[in-house]
Structure 1
Amino acid sequence: MADTTKSEAAGLPQPVVEEVAFSRQGLTDIQKKVAGNRVELLLEYPTVYIVYDKEKPHAYQVYVGETNNIEQRTRQHLEDDPLRREDWRYLAESSASQLLVIGHPHFNKSLTLDIENNMMLYMSGVESVKKLNNRRENQQNKYYTFKEKDKIFSAIWRKLHNFDPELFPIEEVVRDSALFKASPFHTLTKEQDHARELILRRIQAALHVPQGHQLILVEGEAGSGKTVLLSSLFYQLWQLGEDKNYSEFNTANSYLLVNHNEQVKVYENIAAKLGMNTANVSKPTAFINNEQTAAGVDVVLVDEAHLLWTQGKQSYRGENQLDDILARAKVVVAVFDKKQILSREGYLTTNEIHKLEHHAKQQGNWIQFKQQLRMNASEATQTWLTSLIERHVVDPIPADSSYDLKIFDDPVALYQAIQAKAQSKEHGLSRMLATFDWPYKNKPPKDGQLYRVTVGKLSLPWNLQLKPAKQQRGRMKRLAWAEQDQTIGEVGSTFTIQGFDLNYSGVIIGPSVKYRDGHVVFDPKASQNQKATTRRTLANGEKVYVDKELLPNELNVLLTRGVNGLYIYAVDDALRAALLAAQS
């Protein structure tokens, strides 16, 4: 009854969903279980369908498809596909496999393709789905009923949740998943779609006719959709490599690199779920060390290219990771944001950044993203943040009905507010963050204690120290930091949160950020981030301090994580007073 009410409120009829065994008998059972025009919707009109099997507890194998003839398509999956594909052989032979058939009075070919694509997006974000089988992505442009897609999909998902809550969790839970947010099945904006098509054309041309080492540089600020573009490219390159009509593409010769442990984990999980080779997801140093042949690789995609090292470090003996990657690949696609360079090891001078951009522009390979896709904030709120971070001024905080920006004068109250958001089904994924102004090292303290962020009466451990409950350790190990249950009791840093979203972020601005003479100033002596505050040796041998650029970048990363809200507490008395005054 609740579903009917929601559907009526939306002015749309209810979807029809029926579940039967995935077998020859199953379709006959539909006719016995469903009466009237509901049978017609399922058997004679376009439908979306899901075939799934629960291989073991908390582990599903799923196929999502759409068809104009569910009876014919099911026979094909049961009789023909198992002869060619192992995944279908498993599903056809398993006695536990189920078939969910979804119909709707407003379904047409374009809408079912879009619903199928959206279903793949959601399934890629469901933790219990270990294998997701489909060989395409089907984003559609505008069509007659395209404005109804989201409402119809939500009504379908609610019905599916009633069939199996583990396979179809509450919608908000799925959307909070890092896998969902980095999924290749997101509907691309015009800006993203244009960039993807341009990049694919450039790659195809370079593989047909050698053109030297090609650098395609995609620039955009935090939240501009760079990761979704890269994920979509990675998946499409794999698809083309599987297609015999595109012989120039080799799935084994396309790599995705990222210099961020948490993001590597996300991409590996996506690749495993979609049946791609997880060995093609790597950190840059491992790739460079393993691929010694010049231009031996076709395509390398680099996420968070601003994290690449521009000097030697530990196991990396080179001088510039991007140069070394370019030497090993015919085409390198790098997404880059100069405002997110955080470490002296990845520092680039202004001239070096201009040289990098000029190199890409000369080849016609420079792409710039201008849209802000992460934060549901007004332009005025985004301008306020930019003024704080880049112009170092505290302007009056604008009213914004769509974004919850709040200044706190008590760190305990801030933490309690973030805990309440995290426990709310409505608000979901929320965590504490802080500037790197309290000690932290990779090795635990000798006294057995934890490295902590302590402000007044609030004292919380830094990230990556609390252990998950014993029965959840295997599961939590696979999740990004913010998604792990126990991390609501920790404080995240740029090193764990960069590249990820939160619904609400609670940011403690530490003593390295002060307010003096009407301006925000950065004090490297109050920072514990030696990667930002110690000197960097430039190419000409000169040793310089680069904290004036890196510390504002750290603040930029932290203040741009929250999708729906940002809560701030400033340790510096003058800065806190200025922020509170700006709020009133």
Structure 2
Amino acid sequence: MSPGLKFSIHRYAFDDQLLDTIDSIYYLKDNWPIIYILSNSAKKSLYVGETSDFYTRMVTHLRTADKKEMSTIHIIFSDSFNKSATLDIESNLIKYISADEYPAGEEELTKSWKLLNSNIGLSKHNYYQKSDIYWQLFNDIWEKLRSEPEPGRIAFQAISYIDNSDLFKYSPFRSLNSEQYRGLFHIMEALLNSNTKTIIAEGGAGTGKSLLAIHLFKLLMTDMGEFNYRYFGNEEPLFIELVRALKNKYENPKLALVIPMTSFRETVMKVFRKVKGLRPSMVISPAEVKKVHYDIILVDEAHRLRRGRNLGSYIGAFNNTSRVLNFDRDKHTELDWVKLKSDKLIMFYDEKQTIKPSDVRSNDFKELKSIESTEVQSLKKQMRVLGGERYIKFSTMLLDCALPPGTEKYRSRKYECLLFDSVTQMRREIQQRDSETGLSRMVAGYSWEWRSKKNPELFDIFLENEWYRWNSITADWINSENAPDEIGCIHTTQGYDLNYAGIIFGREITYDKEKNEMVIIRDNYCDTEGKRGVTDPEELKEYIINIYRIVMHRAIKGVYIYAYHPELREYFSQFIPKPGAESNVVPL
């Protein structure tokens, strides 16, 4: 219980007798701010609200089609509540319930609640004691809701568990920052501009492109009458005007969210399954666009759209879709597919996350950006990495060999970046971080054959007299049971967040001290489709550097680094501290 902040939760039947039942409760009669939760355990539907006029709000709900089907109401009250506090706790309840899962696991996902709330972009607002006392009060309320008996229990998992879940990180109820809001407004304006066909939102890893894409999709699929505008502050009049104009133009829009990467696509489908107005079938692969024409197509991770080269087992599906759309497979790409099948195209793109020759060339995007009917938006604010822009700049210059001689080693009280001489020691540290915070994984460059793919009894990587295995699955590996004991690759981590990453710079990359540049050893690079037909050494180098750049930007709290080649380890040691006294953090 929070010091001095007591609260109560009362549970009643939600029916026409409710107002008579609670007539004697003083804080409801006297218009105190309260939070309430409406639920129907049979239909697994739920709605969270707050009000200072309980009677009027309940009369309205009892006359509203979807609300009057609710069977139970939880009323949450505290003498310490004020309007700001109830808004914030309501916002947190919506965010955490939207990502909460039934404890039995994924197969029981249908037993979790489906939110009827249509709020999007609940803005962060600050008030006295928000960060400590009221956050603790929310935690206490959540634990009380978790302790309730079935049927009708509102909360299942602990806050710490939900914080690490992909359902939480990609929920449309997560807050947008000010830069994302500006991007959202500009995209809405571009959708209303008849001269704009394509919108490209550019941003590096961790700038919140995926979250913005999901927010925008939810906005476009929410009925006008269900919006809650109070969260948009000074921009509220403009936002209302834009939403009304969009709803007039796209009354019942045909939308799709295209995600090229299978694993990440499946994660977003889970998110859509839990949100009113969204369906998993709205999240599709590039090949599925051939089925219908869309008013608007959104493409997340657009840098992973493919062209007809080094496609492996996907070649058949690629050729079939090209044929259906009357495209030449050798000349046209998945980028051409989504352009053809949409009236408006919105893409979320990062040139530095192109990692294979099968990816659409960056020149194709540059050409598209130069067209008058294309509008470009930029996202720069770092949302994932606690080291912020300082770490992003440092790690980018490190991989580009652009740090000036004598640059001080990277130290921060917000972010860990450490160099290890022993991969065994690094693994122990990653396992310790995993036990403390979860989501801490080992990741390596693809410079060892994946023998265990065909025979799971075999090992793949031999380092310091120890054997390791690559990821045993490709879909959602980060959250799998075996992940803490395995080593992942770029394909199992791109698009996901980690708390800590233990990165092995593999046998395929070293450093030339005389030239001050990274050197790629082609024969040690085991991704056959990643190098076949690539005759320009600089092109292959760019792909591999981009891979390491991506994994170095996956971790929220810190990265631990080990380099296979001593030359590269020596280079890193100039700029990255090692564990122990050398790594003592300094305030920024």
Quick check: TM above 0.5? yes
Q: Residue 37 of structure 2 corresponds to which residue in structure 1?
A: 50
Match of 1:455 in 2: 463
Give the AA of the match of 1:234.
F
> 1:320 & 1:263 partners in 2: Cα distance?
21
Aligned positions of 1:328-407 closer than 5 A: 328-349=341-362, 351-359=363-371, 362-363=372-373, 365-377=375-387, 379-391=389-401, 396-407=408-419
- 521, 525, 533: which one pairs with 2:531? 533
CA distance in 2, matches of 1:452, 1:55: 49
Among 95, 114, 130, which residue is 1:121 paired with? 95
- Quickly say closer, same or farther: Cα 1:342–1:242, change in 2 above 3 A: farther
Which residues of 2 match residues 312-323 of structure 1 at below 5 A? Answer: 313-317=315-319, 318=322, 319-323=332-336
2:250 matched residue in structure 1 = 249
Structure 2 residue aligned with 1:10: none
Shift of 1:120: 1.7
| Structure-to-structure mapping, 1:371-520, within 5 angstroms | 371-377=381-387, 379-391=389-401, 396-424=408-436, 427-440=437-450, 444-445=453-454, 447=455, 449-450=457-458, 452-465=460-473, 480-517=476-513, 518-520=516-518
Structure 1 residue 379 displacement after superposition: 4.6
SS at match of 2:394: helix
Match of 2:555 among 534, 539, 562: 562
Distance 1:364 1:214, change over 3 A: closer
- C-alpha separation between the residues in 2 aligned to 1:551 and 1:252? 40
Aligned to 1:270: 271
Aligned to 1:305: 302
CA contact (8 A) 2:305 2:335 kept: yes
**Counterpart residue number, 2:57:** 73
C-alpha separation in 2, matches of 1:146 and 1:262: 41
Amino acid at match of 2:98: S
Residue 513 to residue 126, structure 1, CA distance change in 2 (3 Å): same
Q: Distance in 1 between matches of 2:47 and 2:308?
A: 45
Q: 1:284 aligns with which of 256, 268, 286?
A: 286
Separation in 1, partners of 2:120, 2:555: 29
Q: Deviations over 1:180-232 (max 9, x none)?
A: 111112221111101101111222344xxxx4x71100111101111111111
For residues 20 and 428 of structure 2, what CA distance do their matches in structure 1 show? 55
Residue 221 of structure 1 aligns with an amino acid whose one-letter code is G
Alpha-carbon separation, structure 1, partners of 2:560 and 2:63: 56
Aligned residues of 1:409 and 1:580 also touching (Cα < 8 A): no
Structure 2 residue identity aligned to 1:47: I
Return the letter of the residue paired with 1:495: H
Mark the runs of 5 or more structure 1 residues left unpaired by the alignment.
6-12, 467-476, 538-542
1:160 equivalent in structure 2: 142
Query: Are 2:478 and 2:493, in contact at CA under 8 Å, matched by a contact in 1?
Result: yes
Q: Structure 1 length as normaliser, TM-score?
A: 0.81
Same amino acid, percent of matched pairs? 23
The CA distance in 1 between the partners of 2:442 and 2:361, in whole Å, is 30
Shift in Å, 1:401:
0.9
Aligned to 1:238: 221
Q: Return closer, same or farther for 1:374/1:458 CA change in 2, 3 Å cut-off.
A: farther
- Taking the aligned partners of 1:150 and 1:309, their CA distance within structure 2 comes to 47
Once the two structures are TM-superposed, the CA of residue 164 in structure 1 deviates from its matched residue by 1.1
Residue aligning to 1:101: 76
Matched residue type, 1:194: R
Offset, 1:262: 1.9
Conserved? CA contact 2:444–2:505, under 8 Å: yes
Q: Is the 8 A contact 1:257 1:283 kept in 2?
A: yes
Aligned to 1:216: 199
- The reply on whether 1:172 has 2:160 as its aligned counterpart is yes
Instruction: Flag the 1:267–1:554 CA change in 2: closer, same or farther, 3 A.
Output: same
Partner of 2:182: 194
List per-residue Cα deviations over 1:121-142 (Å, max 9, x = no partner). 2222212334122122363475
Tell me by how many angstroms 1:497 deviates: 0.8
Instruction: Note closer, same or farther for the CA distance 1:378–1:557 as it changes in structure 2 (3 Å cut).
Output: closer
Q: Deviations over 1:341-393 (max 9, x none)?
A: 011111415x434213212xx23611111211111115543332112222366
* Structure 2 gaps, min length 5: 103-111, 148-153, 227-242, 310-314, 323-331, 583-588
Helix, strand or coil: the match of 1:365? Answer: strand
User: How many Å separate the matches in 2 of 1:65 and 1:237?
Assistant: 22
Q: What is the DSSP-based 3-state SS (H/G/I as helix, E as strand, rest coil) of the residue aligned with 1:187?
A: coil
Counterpart secondary structure, 1:557: helix
TM-score normalised by L of structure 2: 0.81
Q: Structure 1 residues 433 and 141 mapped into 2: Cα distance closer, same or farther (>3 Å)?
A: closer
Distance in 2 separating the partners of 1:194 and 1:419: 40
Q: Secondary structure at the match of 1:342?
A: coil
RMSD: 3.1
Query: Structure 1 448/149 Cα, relative in aligned 2: closer, same or farther at 3 Å?
Result: closer
Residue 117 of structure 1 contacts residue 138 of structure 1 at CA under 8 Å; is this kept in 2? no
With over 3 angstroms needed to count, the CA separation of the structure-2 counterparts of 1:504 and 1:142, relative to structure 1, is: closer
User: Quick one: distance in 2 between partners of 1:578 and 1:184?
Assistant: 42
Measure, in 1, the Cα distance between the counterparts of 2:29 and 2:570. 63
Instruction: Say if 1:156 and 1:545 are closer, same or farther in 2 by CA, change over 3 A.
Output: closer
Per the alignment, in what secondary structure is the counterpart of residue 136 of structure 1? coil
Structure 1 CA distance for aligned equivalents of residues 546 and 413 of structure 2: 27
Per-residue CA deviations over 1:271-329 (Å, capped at 9, x if unaligned) read: 11013122111011122x312xxxx3111110000000122633012321112111111
Structure 1 pair 488–242 and aligned structure 2 pair: CA distance change class (3 A):
farther
Q: For residues 30 and 275 of structure 2, what CA distance do their matches in structure 1 show?
A: 29
Structure 1 residue 577, shift from structure 2 partner: 3.2
